[in-house]
Each structure stands twice: as structure tokens, then as C-alpha cells.
Amino acid sequence: MAPRNKIPLLRIGVLIIVGLAVIKFAYKSRPTHTIVASLRIEEKSAKESKDNFFWGKAGEPQENSDKRELPPEPPNEMNAPVDENLPLKKKGVAKDFSGIQLRLVHLDLKGAAPKVSYLEQIFPLLSKMGANGLLIEYEDMFPYSGELEILKSPYAYSKEDIEKILHLAEINKLEVVPLVQTFGHMEYVLKHENYRSLREVEQYPNSINPHRAETMPLVKKILGQVLELHPMASFVHIGADEVFHLGEGQDSKTWLNSNNGDLGKMFLAHVKELLNFLHSHYPDKYALMWDDMLRKLSVENIKGKYDHYSVLCELLPVALPSLVVCLRAIQHGPLTEESKTEINQILGFSKMDLKKNICDGNGAFPGAEIYRMVRIINDDLKKKVREIMEGDSEIRAWFSRYHRKHRFGNPHKMETFRDKVLKTHEEWETLTDSLRVQLETIYFPDTVEEWMEENVNLHLDALRKMAKDFKEILELKAQPKAVLKK
């Protein structure tokens, strides 16, 4: 009897094993990406987070909300009329990313966008160090056309440039993921007078008003033009991070007052309509988005150009060593002495000190000359100028601001520190002129001018003025100071 009793148990065991195998196979057949936005976003998740500051409490009314006609609910995408001007998706070969970990390098082009010729130099390096994809955030560097042409920078890439970037990425085995901001970080759109009325809060150009009838057609046109030039892309990133001031506009306050103050539901409604649009027009593309608004956490500052109103924060050649170290660590784990040696050989450095953020040697990577000169400027320019302007006792005694203002000085004393003033000025002018030449090979004129103004001229102008005054006062041959007029 014992063997007979075991037969049903064995059958059950076999069924369980088969079932698990089927589930595992079905799971593996789908791409697994931690930041892929599901097309079936469950709005109930907002209700489950009742005590969170972002989502708000259920039943919590919004203060200072005037009673107005409510903005309409977003139309059902399946029933909404399709814009005939939207480009038809070009069919591409579907790629299987199951089991592949994408290591993307984020190219944020809203500031200090490099020329295509420099991208051609660094793509092989990125690929060699383990990157297998590029997250390209074009913003105003994209060649928008038609009514969107106002969005593009005077130095925007051409369509031919985009084609070349995609070709360069392909031959270096880098998957290109276009990033299109669709909710927050919309300064590149909302700074223009044509679209000022679409701001969530009239004073701030950061976030778009999700309730205005013109908002969704505009965002879809932007997405459509970008994706038209990326027909082979398997992914599209819709941004949706740092939607500052969301819920502060009058339309949003009115909506929230009638929807239990559920800010999360309002956020998801906008995102969901975008995902439905992508699903219906570009069904073979996976949608990605940042997760900070979903996680409901405070957003930390990151480097880069924060928006279109901030100054430049970094240059790609200067950031390359750090990027290479990060790629190496992501791919192989903690850095060993052996891996540091490998990185030094690739970058052309003799030594690397991660704690001090120092790389010794001239470097042998694309843009290494810029890295070297920027490091000198960062380490020494401000310090050297201050030493001359404030730290030298003879200069303070015989060539102070008072002497320069009233145009007098003792030539005998001035000759003792001539070299310190004039030679130092000449050396820095030579270095910065060389830097400008190098920058112009990689960047467009607006980027070069902005970086030089913020990082060089800010300090060097004072030394330039001192050198000019020195020469002019020396030519006066010790004339007495001018008598102040009463």
C-alpha cells in the first residue's frame, strides 16, 4: 500500500515542478529593467500612501482653492482622435534585452553640449570601459521643426548630426535611449513666450500644467519628432522627475479640491496618458522614467546644468576620468590596485588618488589637455591672483587700490615687483588662450564663452586690470597724485 500512496504525491510534485518551470520561462521572456514604467500603472498605489507628503491624505481638501469649473479628466487614449501630423513609427528589428544589464551614460545636453566630432572620439572609450548604452537628453539641442522650431538652440544639432550620433553609437555597440522631458524640467519649452501660459505656476518655467488642453498635444508632438529620428530605439525615457510646484497652480488646486487632495493621482494621470500614447503609437518601445516622484523622497542636488537658468557645472572632458572609474566599478565591483593600474593605463595617468580626487600625469584620452588646464585653473588661478592682490606686502604698500585710483606710484619701488605682476599676468593669459583654443574644438561658442566667464574671467579680470594700471602708471614717471576736486 505504501508505494500506491506515493504515486499521487509524485504526480503532485511533478505538476508543481512543471508549473514553476512555466512561470520561470514566462518571467524570463520579458525584459527586466528596474526603471521601466509599466503601462498598467495602478492608481490605487497613491491611495495606499495616505500619510506621505507627496501623495497627500485621502479626503484632505486643498486650502485657498477658488471654486472654478474643473479641468476635464484626461481623455481616454483609445477613443481620443489621433493627430494626423504625428509621424508614423518606422519599423525596426525588435531587440531582446532579457538578461542584459544596461549600463547607460547620461549625456545631458542642456548645457555644454559637445560637437559631434568629440562624441566620435569618446564613444569608443565609453564602450571599452563597459558602457553599453547612452541616455541622451537633447532638450534644445534637438533639431525641432515646424511650430516647435522655436525650442531649438542656435547651435542645435542637425538631422544629419543625429544620424551620425546614432551611427557612431551603433558601431561602438551603444544602445541609444532618447530622453524627452514631459512634466518637470520643461524650461527649454516654458521659457518661450509662446508657451508661457502652459506653466503650472506662472512665475516658474520648471513644470508644465497637466490640465491645460494644449499641454498633451504639445508634449506628444515633441515626443513624436524625437522618436521620428530614433526609429530603431528600443526605449524612450519620459523624464517625469523633479516636478517642482506641482499642485500649486490654480487649475491643480481646483482639481485637488475635488479629488481628495490626491496629488499622486494627478501625477499618475499625466504619466499614464503619455504611456498610453507611446503604447498605441510606438508599441515596440519600452518607456522609462525617473523614480523620485514615485518614491516620494526629497531630491538631492546633482551635477550638471540644473536648468536653463543656472551656470555650467561641468565639462565632459573633465568628467571623463570619474565616469571611467564609475563604469569600471559598476561592471566589476570595488576597485582593486590592479583595476586602478588598468584605468591609469587607459587614461594615460601615472597615479590616481580617489580620496583626494587627483590624477597625476598629462593624460592620453580625448580632451586630456582640457582636463589638465582646467585642473591648473581650479587649483591655482584664484589663489595666485589673491596672493598678488592681497598677500604681497610691497604691492599693498606701493601699489594699492588707492594708488591705482589716483594714478600715482614710485617707479623705483614698482620695478621690484614688475615681474610678479606682469609676468604672472602673461603666463595666465597664455594658459587661458590655449584652453580657449582647446574648448573651441569640442564646444560651441556659447559654451566656451560661458565657461570662461564663470571660471576664468571672474578671477583673471582683476589681474588684467592691475597689469593695465601698472603699465599706465609706470609711464607717468612718478607724477604726483591728482588733487581731489572739492
Q: Could you give the CA distance from residue 264 to residue 197 in angstroms, rounded to a whole number?
A: 23
Same domain, 283 and 389: no
Which are the contacts of 246, defined by CB distance < 8 A and separation ≥ 6? 183, 184, 200, 207, 252, 263, 266, 267
Active site residue 242: yes
Please indicate, yes or no, if residue 303 is contained in any of the structural domains.
no
The answer to whether the beta carbons of residues 95 and 124 sit under 8 Å apart is no
- Residue for grid cell 588618488: 353
Q: How many CA atoms lie within 13 A of 271 on its CB side?
A: 28
* Residue tagged active-site, from 137, 242, 338, 475: 242
Same domain, 229 and 124: yes
Of 243, 260, 295, the position where a domain reaches its end is: 295
What is the maximum alpha-carbon separation in the chain? 125
pLDDT digits (tens, 9 = 90+) for 28-42: 444 433 333 333 333
pLDDT band at residue 370 using 50, 70 and 90 as cut-offs: very high
| Residue 363 grid cell | 593624460
The answer to whether the beta carbons of residues 205 and 199 sit under 8 Å apart is yes
Of 295, 318, 349, the position where a domain reaches its end is: 295
pLDDT digits (tens, 9 = 90+) for 76-123: 433 344 454 544 444 455 566 656 788 999 999 988 899 999 999 999
> Which position has the higher pLDDT, 289 or 61?
289
Of 295, 310, 334, the position where a domain reaches its end is: 295
Which are the contacts of 418, defined by CB distance < 8 A and separation ≥ 6? 470
E strand segments, 172-260: 175-179, 199-201, 204-208, 235-237
Same domain, 287 and 158: yes
Same domain, 172 and 287: yes
pLDDT digits (tens, 9 = 90+) for 310-357: 546 678 899 899 899 989 888 888 888 888 889 999 999 988 888 777
Q: Could you give the CA distance from residue 475 to residue 156 in angstroms, rounded to a whole number?
A: 49
Please indicate, yes or no, if residue 271 is contained in any of the structural domains.
yes
Residue 445 has pLDDT above 70, yes or no: yes
Same domain, 82 and 220: yes
Please indicate, yes or no, if residue 145 is contained in any of the structural domains.
yes
Q: Could you give the CA distance from residue 161 to residue 146 in angstroms, rounded to a whole number?
A: 19
pTM of the entire predicted model: 0.70
pLDDT band at residue 307 using 50, 70 and 90 as cut-offs: low
Q: Closest Cα partner for 471 from 402, 398, 421, 416?
A: 421
Q: Could you give the CA distance from residue 146 to residue 192 in angstroms, rounded to a whole number?
A: 15
Structural domain total, the chain: 2
Please indicate, yes or no, if residue 430 is contained in any of the structural domains.
yes
- Can you give the pLDDT at residue 146? 96
Please indicate, yes or no, if residue 68 is contained in any of the structural domains.
yes
Please indicate, yes or no, if residue 22 is contained in any of the structural domains.
no
∠ CA 191-194-198 to the nearest 5 degrees?
70
Please indicate, yes or no, if residue 338 is contained in any of the structural domains.
no
Same domain, 277 and 395: no
The kind and range of the H/E element at 340 are helix 337-347
Q: Closest Cα partner for 274 from 283, 287, 261, 263?
A: 287
Same domain, 158 and 258: yes
Q: How many CB atoms lie within 10 A of CB 397?
A: 10
Q: Kindly state the average pLDDT of the residues 253-261.
A: 90
CA dihedral 200, 203, 207, 213 (to 10 degrees): 40
φ, ψ of residue 335 in degrees (nearest 5) = -75, 130
| Residue 240 grid cell | 517625469
Same domain, 276 and 401: no
Please indicate, yes or no, if residue 163 is contained in any of the structural domains.
yes
> Which position has the higher pLDDT, 74 or 310?
310
- What does the DSSP 8-state code read for residue 199? E
- Start-to-end Cα distance in the chain: 125
Contacts 24+ apart (CB under 8 A), 69-77: 69/254, 70/254, 70/255, 70/258, 71/211, 71/212, 71/251, 71/254, 71/255, 72/213, 73/269, 74/216, 74/269, 74/270, 74/272, 74/273, 75/273, 77/273, 77/276, 77/277, 77/279, 77/280
Same domain, 387 and 291: no
Query: Strand 235-237 and strand 204-208: pairing?
Result: unpaired
The residue range of the domain holding 265 is: 31-90+100-295
Same domain, 289 and 388: no
- Can you give the pLDDT at residue 333? 85
If DSSP codes are grouped into helix, strand and coil, which group holds residue 152? coil
Same domain, 53 and 198: yes
Mean pLDDT of the chain: 80
For residue 217, give the CATH number of its domain: 3.20.20.80
Q: Closest Cα partner for 146 from 88, 209, 212, 222?
A: 222
Q: Please provide the size of the chain in residues.
A: 486
Query: Strand 133-137 and strand 204-208: pairing?
Result: unpaired
